[in-house]
């Protein structure tokens, strides 16, 4: 019975994350095109950053809310309700020919996709402590698979659904790409359909896991306690700073890449989807099969230090190649980024956990995830604001931030003791 519930929960999370991955190669260029037509007062590039900002902020706000509510009313209703909200977001995106509709769609999707905390709580309810880390790893696996499958599917669906004189080709008017209704509607309705399938699976195959409701649950405002004090905790504060810098720098690359690849190298949505899918595949291989070996070989302290310059090199390489060298240089860039990411995320999570008391594990790791969401909101705003000045600026600034993180990591490595290997498996 437990295996059946875990499989159902894994499929539920996977379908949700495939839907998230599908919009990655489409949303930036779509938003910029619609914002340019609408004459958005902050400029089309800034509109892209704000769309991502609102999605991440909704996740930041609703992750603790869904988790708290699931303690009171149960995991099952929260998971079901959040899936329906996500479906509404994708359905709204299907009609996203206006900037307002795109903003509304991403706000709803951000609220709906913030249910990972409830899914984690469900796993904890039905899993013995010694198996919990392995079961929690299923969420990381779902992220990886969703990122591998989603972007290529999204690019292909949008390409298929475009309605123009030549199938799969965008219509051009005054040099601006006009996105016909067909491509966006097929994309939005397909994702909404995935959510409906997701809801059916969860409704019929996912029973309630919480045997006893918590009537003395924390207030929503209490979920944010520790935001100001955590920075003053020795070692933990420095790790939080490195994490915030890293996530923001990585998002500065991710959000502008689809736009730059289209404007500078002429890539369509299909090929952009393939590249993001390749990033997901590399991440899955590295994090799934190689990081454990590196952990045993060099330890998490050195992984933290080495990861920063690897990411910096990957960021600098993204906007540099000529047309002829685009794919080879991007492959090297992706390799640096994915290996650096594979070093940084597990090492930060592990070192935070190692240097936190047993009684404060959940609170501290929860704060770490909250600040990660804030970084995912802030990074795109900075990136899109400076992209319009010079297309290389986001990548150069992001690489500079990673060098700052590198300096902090070197300093921190001298403060951390020799016991830098976690007691349990690394999770991302």
Tell me if 214 is assigned to some domain: no
Residues 89 and 177 in one domain: yes
From 40-49, 69-78, 191-200, 418-427, the region with the lowest mean pLDDT = 418-427
Buried (b) or exposed (e) across 407-424, using 16+ Cβ within 10 A? ebbeebeeebeeebebee
From 25-39, 80-94, 166-180, the region with the lowest mean pLDDT = 166-180
pLDDT (tens digit per residue) in 354-376? 777 755 665 676 677 778 888 88
From 28-37, 64-73, 103-112, 145-154, the region with the lowest mean pLDDT = 64-73
Q: Which of 157, 177, 208 is the last residue of a domain?
A: 208
pLDDT at position 395 over 90: yes
Spacing of C-alpha 312 from chain mean position: 19
Q: Which of 176, 208, 240 is the last residue of a domain?
A: 208
Tell me if 269 is assigned to some domain: yes
Tell me if 152 is assigned to some domain: yes
Tell me if 283 is assigned to some domain: yes
Residues 353 and 307 in one domain: yes
Residues 263 and 356 in one domain: yes
The whole-number average pLDDT for the span 379-386 is 89
Q: Which residue has the higher pLDDT, 342 or 291?
A: 342
Q: What is the pLDDT of residue 52?
A: 87
**Dihedral sign from CA coordinates of 303, 290, 251, 375:** negative
Cα 337 to Cα 314, 327, 401: the distances in Å are: 5, 15, 14
Tell me if 427 is assigned to some domain: no
Q: Would you place residue 1 in the very low, low, confident or very high pLDDT band (cuts 50, 70, 90)?
A: very low
Cα 289 to Cα 64, 105, 283, 342: the distances in Å are: 31, 36, 10, 10
The whole-number average pLDDT for the span 217-246 is 75
From 62-71, 81-90, 109-118, 184-193, the region with the lowest mean pLDDT = 62-71
What separation, in Å, do the N-terminal and C-terminal C-alpha atoms of the chain show? 27
Residues 190 and 49 in one domain: yes
Residues 175 and 272 in one domain: no
pLDDT at position 378 over 50: yes
Q: Whole-number mean pLDDT of the chain?
A: 80
The whole-number average pLDDT for the span 262-290 is 81
Q: Which of 208, 242, 270 is the last residue of a domain?
A: 208
Helices (H), 94-173: 99-112, 116-126, 129-161
Residues 261 and 389 in one domain: yes
Q: What is the pLDDT of residue 365?
A: 67
pLDDT at position 148 over 90: no
Residues 107 and 255 in one domain: no
Supply the pTM of this predicted model: 0.76
Total domain count, the chain: 2
Q: Would you place residue 146 in the very low, low, confident or very high pLDDT band (cuts 50, 70, 90)?
A: confident
Residues 105 and 245 in one domain: no
Tell me if 308 is assigned to some domain: yes
Residues 249 and 190 in one domain: no
Cα 38 to Cα 35, 45, 50, 201, 381: the distances in Å are: 5, 13, 15, 40, 19
- Domain residues for 196? 1-208
Cα 130 to Cα 121, 134, 135: the distances in Å are: 15, 9, 10
Q: What is the pLDDT of residue 105?
A: 93
Q: Which residue has the higher pLDDT, 223 or 349?
A: 349
pLDDT at position 174 over 60: no
Tell me if 220 is assigned to some domain: no
Exposed (0-12), middle (13-18) or buried (19+): which is 237, by Cβ within 10 Å? middle
pLDDT at position 334 over 50: yes
Tell me if 217 is assigned to some domain: no
Report helix, strand or coil for 218. coil
Residue 160 tokens, joined: 């298929």
Residues 166 and 270 in one domain: no
From 13-17, 27-31, 309-313, the region with the lowest mean pLDDT = 13-17
Q: What is the pLDDT of residue 305?
A: 92
Q: What is the pLDDT of residue 125?
A: 77
With a pLDDT cut of 90, the percent of the chain lying above it is 22
The whole-number average pLDDT for the span 17-41 is 85
pLDDT at position 408 over 50: yes
Q: What is the pLDDT of residue 420?
A: 47
Q: Would you place residue 318 in the very low, low, confident or very high pLDDT band (cuts 50, 70, 90)?
A: very high
The whole-number average pLDDT for the span 123-135 is 67
Residues 111 and 45 in one domain: yes
With a pLDDT cut of 70, the percent of the chain lying above it is 81
Q: Can you give the CATH number for the domain in which 88 is found?
A: 1.20.1250.20
Nearest Cα residue to 204 out of 293, 314, 87, 80: 80
pLDDT (tens digit per residue) in 67-78? 778 877 888 999
Residues 196 and 315 in one domain: no
Q: Would you place residue 116 in the very low, low, confident or very high pLDDT band (cuts 50, 70, 90)?
A: confident
């Amino acid at each position: 019975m437990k295996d059946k519930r875990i499989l159902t929960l894994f499929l539920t999370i996977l379908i949700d994350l495939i839907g998230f991955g599908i919009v990655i190669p489409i949303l930036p260029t779509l938003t910029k095109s619609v914002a340019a037509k609408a004459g958005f007062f902050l400029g089309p590039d800034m509109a892209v950053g704000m769309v991502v900002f609102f999605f991440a902020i909704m996740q930041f706000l609703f992750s603790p809310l869904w988790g708290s509510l699931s303690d009171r009313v149960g995991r099952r209703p929260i998971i079901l309700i959040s899936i329906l909200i996500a479906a509404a977001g994708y359905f709204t995106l299907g009609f996203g020919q206006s900037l307002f509709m795109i903003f509304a769609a991403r706000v709803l999707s951000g609220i709906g996709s913030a249910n990972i905390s409830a899914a984690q709580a469900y796993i904890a309810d039905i899993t013995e402590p010694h198996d919990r880390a392995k079961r929690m790893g299923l969420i990381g696996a779902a992220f990886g698979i969703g990122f591998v499958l989603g972007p290529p599917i999204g690019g292909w669906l949008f390409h298929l659904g475009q309605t123009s004189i030549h199938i799969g080709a965008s219509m051009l008017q005054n040099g601006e790409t006009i996105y016909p209704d067909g491509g966006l509607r097929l994309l939005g309705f397909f994702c909404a359909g995935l959510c409906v399938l997701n809801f059916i699976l969860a409704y019929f195959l996912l029973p309630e896991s919480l045997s006893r409701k918590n009537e003395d649950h924390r207030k929503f405002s209490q979920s944010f306690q520790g935001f100001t004090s955590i920075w003053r905790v020795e070692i933990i504060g420095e790790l939080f700073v490195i994490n915030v810098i890293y996530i923001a720098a990585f998002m500065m690359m991710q959000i502008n890449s689809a736009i730059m690849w289209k404007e500078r190298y002429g890539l369509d949505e299909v090929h952009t989807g393939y590249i993001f899918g390749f990033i997901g595949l590399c991440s899955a291989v590295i994090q799934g099969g190689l990081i454990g070996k590196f952990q045993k070989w060099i330890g998490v302290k050195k992984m933290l230090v080495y990861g920063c310059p690897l990411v910096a090199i990957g960021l600098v390489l993204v906007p540099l190649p000529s047309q002829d060298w685009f794919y080879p240089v991007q492959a090297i860039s992706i390799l640096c980024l994915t290996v650096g990411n594979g070093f940084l995320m597990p090492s930060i999570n592990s070192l935070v956990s190692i240097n936190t008391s047993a009684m404060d594990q959940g609170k501290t790791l929860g704060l770490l995830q909250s600040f990660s969401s804030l970084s995912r909101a802030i990074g795109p705003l900075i990136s899109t604001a400076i992209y319009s000045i010079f297309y290389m600026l986001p990548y150069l600034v992001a690489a500079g931030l990673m060098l700052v993180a590198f300096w902090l990591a070197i300093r921190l490595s001298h403060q951390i003791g020799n016991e830098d290997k976690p007691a349990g498996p690394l999770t991302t």
